[in-house]
Structure formats: C-alpha cells, structure tokens
Structure 1
Amino acid sequence: MTPPAGNALRQRCLEAVAEEGRRVRVLVEDVEAGRTDAHWGTPVPWVPAWTVRDLVGHLGAVHRWATAIVRAGSTRQPAAPPRPPEDGLADWYAAGLADLVTALRDTPADAAAWHMSPTAEKTAASWVRRQAHELTVHRMDLEVAAGVPVSGVDPALAEDGVDEVLRVVVPRWAHTEPLRTATATVAVRSVDSGRAWLVRVTDGGVEVRNADAPADARLEGPADALLRRLWGRPAEVVLTGDPAAESLLRGR
C-alpha cells in the first residue's frame, strides 16, 4: 500500500471529515432522542474523565476553533475555543460540523493557518488532516459510549493518522515530561502494508524516519489498532521491548 500524498491525501482527509462527522452527528441525534443506551451524562469508557456531553462539547468547540483558524488566513495564535451551550447540543454540533466542512473544502490547501505543533505545516491542509483524525478517534469513543459496534478505519487513513501522531503530535509535547529528559528509540510498523517508522527521542528532540530498524521498543499491529493505541485507547497490538519507551509516543 502506497501512502497517499499531496492532493490525494487532502481529498481523502476531506472525505473523512464529512463521513466521520456525519456518523458523529447521527449518533449525537440518537443520544438526544433516547435511541441509544447512552445519555448526556454517560461516561465515555475510553476517556473516563469525560461524559458523552463533554465529548460532544469538545468536538463541537474544536470544529469551530479549526474553522476560525482556517478562515483567518494567518499564522497568529487564535483565541481559545468557544464553550458549548447547556441546551440544544445536537443542533449546535451539527451547525459547527457543517461550517467546518465548508471552510475546509473552500479554503486553498496552501492558505496560511496557525497550528499548535512546531513541526506541522502552517497551512489549511494541516487542519484538514487534524480534523479527519480527531473525528475518527472520537467517533470510536462515542460508539463505545453509546453501546453500538465500533466501525473500523480505512487502513490508508489510519496509517496517515499514525504518521500524524508521530511527526506532528508527539513533537508538540517534546518540551514536557517525560519527553523532555528521555532518550529512547521506538519502531512502529503497520502489518497492513509494512509501512514503518523509527522514532528517536533525545532530551526533548523528536526525530522520525521511514525505516524499520532495531529499537528499545517495537510496536506492531493493524493501522487502526496502532492509531487507537497511540491515542491511549484499547487496541490489540504487539509490543516488545521497553514499555516505558513506547509510552513516550502516546498522544494527549
């Protein structure tokens, strides 16, 4: 499997934002209408600190934040995300999603856009990618909370999600513990395509290469399982070597 690149990757991520967002919107409507086992106060099993209301509020706020960033056409740091409303959460979420999809589709990929990671390209395309993977992971969170089967993730999209965690998300936290004082290497390999990454952490520096080589820890599995694992969700993967080294790669 050859990973998508450039315009093909952006188009695949745009499709994911629309489709994953639609799945979330339908689930949110089902929760509000009492058509699932979940209600607004139901805990999210994969994110125990959150309820379903917290999860939907987070997603809706981030959608609006990303929309504002993309439309600003600037690399200046934006204002904080808005707070969700107490009532009308389903309609509020749907409106924010629709606005996000429009903004991402209509904004040129190379338009200037702030990003919180020092290694991300400061363009609108980075936010298409970020929202695609944000929605994919949180859609699974919501499915688990609602007691419905968890839908899989297309391997190519999941592999790009893994790539984003390793190259964009982990470096965002490199100035914090435990990354700031750690030294370790971790090999990550998708069994779907054989795509591999070698991550070297050295006192707050993060280097990622497309390579399969010996390392302090090795993480292997299907791409969607790797994506869940790296975002701290349950996943059937194979971990060998030093668990502490592998834990450095978890998104927050």
Structure 2
Amino acid sequence: MTALAGESLRLRCIEAVVEEGERFGILAAELADAGRLDVVVPWVPAWTARDLVGHLGTVHRWATDIVCAGHADSPPGEQEPPDDGLLDWYAAGHTALVRALRTTPPDSPAWHMSPAAPKVAASWARRQAHELAVHRMDLEATAGVAHAPLDPVLADDGVDELLSIVVPRWAHREPLADADAVVAVTSTGSGRQWEVRVDRGVVTIGPVPSGAADATLTGDGTQLLRHLWGRPAGVQVDGDATAEALLRGR
C-alpha cells in the first residue's frame, strides 16, 4: 500500500471531506427524525449528537474562513451553531467548505494551529478529512450502527498527520514539555511505521523504529487512528503506558 503525498493526497482528502461529510449529515438527519439528537456520544460523554453536529458545523465554517482568507495571520473567530435549523446549517457549512477546498489554490497562504504544518490551504483538506472521519465514527457509535469502513490509505495518513502535525502542536505544553520518551507505531495493514521521539518539548518523527522505544503501538490504520484520538480501539500497547499516552489526542 503506497502512501499518498502532494496533489494526490490533497485531492483524495477533498473526496473524503465530501464522502464523510455527506455520510455524517445523513446519519445526523436519521437521528433527528427519530428524536435522538440529545443522545450522549458514548466515546465523548461531554457531548450529545446535537453538540457533535454543532461542533463540526462550526469547524467547517472556521476552516473555510481560514482557507479563503489568503494569508497566514491569526484565524477568525468561530461561529456559534443556531438554536433552530441545525441540520440545514451543517449542510450549508459543509458545502461551503468543499467549495473552498476545491477552488482555492493549494499553495495559497493559510494559518494553521501547528508549527509543523505547511501554512497553506492544502493542509486544511487533510485536517478536515481526518476530523470528519473521526467524528463520523463518533456519530455512528452514538446511533448504535456499524462503522462504515475507512479507506486504509487515508487511515494511515490520519495516523501520520496526528503524529507529525498534531502532536508537535502540543509539544510546548505538559506533559510533553518535560517528557523524554520514544514510541514506535506500526500499522499492521500496510506495514507503515513511525518512531516518535519526545525530547523536552521537541518532537521528531522517523520512518523506521530504532529499537529504542519505551512503548509500542500496533494495529491497523483505522484502529490506530481511533486510539490516538482517545477512542476505544483494538490496538496492542506494549511497554511504558505513560510514554504511549503522550501521543493521544486531547
């Protein structure tokens, strides 16, 4: 299985934004029709399905504004979801996001929250594809339906984005700021590997484990993605649990 990169990755991520966003919207509508938007998200008990829809609709508009701004300065503020017409509001925001990702040149300047991310619009196609995939699975868990399969190539890329882009975003904070650890991650479906070194707030990624890992994570790409974002998953964890926990989503 070959990892995607460059324009091929951007285009596939935009496809995923379309597919995942539509799947999420359909499931949200089914929950609304059944009067179940206030059901708690089992993996994120602070949220209901309604909160999840509102969160994604807000993130879609925020990302759209960043992509369309044409500069990499501080981002705009986030919009609050409406009290009424939530599903139409979600659908409109998703449509606007897809349009922005398709029409904005990939190298157009765009702010990003991570110091490790290229400050260009293409970074947001990737971020939104993986944001949607994880939250789509959240909504499926809430609805009690089977999870639709995630493209293995995109699942692996979601793992790569979290390790190489998202984790460095947290590097200046505790517990990473004072941590000294090495964690090896292996995707069993593709054989893709990562070695993440955290050295007092400096995060570096290598493609081949050195054998010096304090902890190892092993699982297929989808399970790794879920585990690393703090969701239940079938992942084998060996070694120092504290080291492994450094990589998990906040």
TM-score normalised according to structure 1 size: 0.97
Residue matched to 2:30: 30
Cα offset, 1:39, TM superposition: 1.5
How many angstroms apart in 2 are the aligned matches of 1:207 and 1:161? 17
Residue matched to 2:91: 94
Amino acid at match of 2:231: R
How many angstroms apart in 2 are the aligned matches of 1:222 and 1:149? 17
Q: Deviations over 1:158-183 (max 9, x none)?
A: 00000000011001011111111110
The unaligned stretches of length 5 or more in structure 1 are: none
Q: Is the 8 A contact 2:65 2:76 kept in 1?
A: no
Q: Deviations over 1:98-135 (max 9, x none)?
A: 01001101111111100000100000000000000000
Q: Deviations over 1:70-118 (max 9, x none)?
A: 0001101112211000111010000000010011011111111000001
Residue matched to 1:239: 237
Residue matched to 1:223: 221
**Helix, strand or coil at the partner of 1:250:** coil
How many angstroms apart in 1 are the aligned matches of 2:190 and 2:143? 32
Matched, 1:118 2:101: no
Equivalenced residues, count: 249
**Helix, strand or coil at the partner of 1:246:** helix
Percent of pairs with identical residues = 60
Amino acid at match of 1:6: G
Which stretch of structure 1 is more off in the superposition, 116-125 or 38-47?
A: 38-47
Cα offset, 1:213, TM superposition: 2.8
**Helix, strand or coil at the partner of 2:47:** strand
Which stretch of structure 1 is more off in the superposition, 134-143 or 148-157?
A: 148-157
How many angstroms apart in 1 are the aligned matches of 2:31 and 2:37? 7
Amino acid at match of 2:145: V
Residue matched to 1:150: 147
Q: Is the 8 A contact 2:106 2:121 kept in 1?
A: yes
Q: Is the 8 A contact 2:198 2:204 kept in 1?
A: yes
Which stretch of structure 1 is more off in the superposition, 131-140 or 171-180?
A: 171-180
Cα offset, 1:19, TM superposition: 0.1
**Helix, strand or coil at the partner of 1:43:** coil
How many angstroms apart in 1 are the aligned matches of 2:144 and 2:6? 37
Cα offset, 1:28, TM superposition: 1.4
How many angstroms apart in 2 are the aligned matches of 1:25 and 1:251? 24
Cα offset, 1:212, TM superposition: 2.4
Residue matched to 2:65: 68
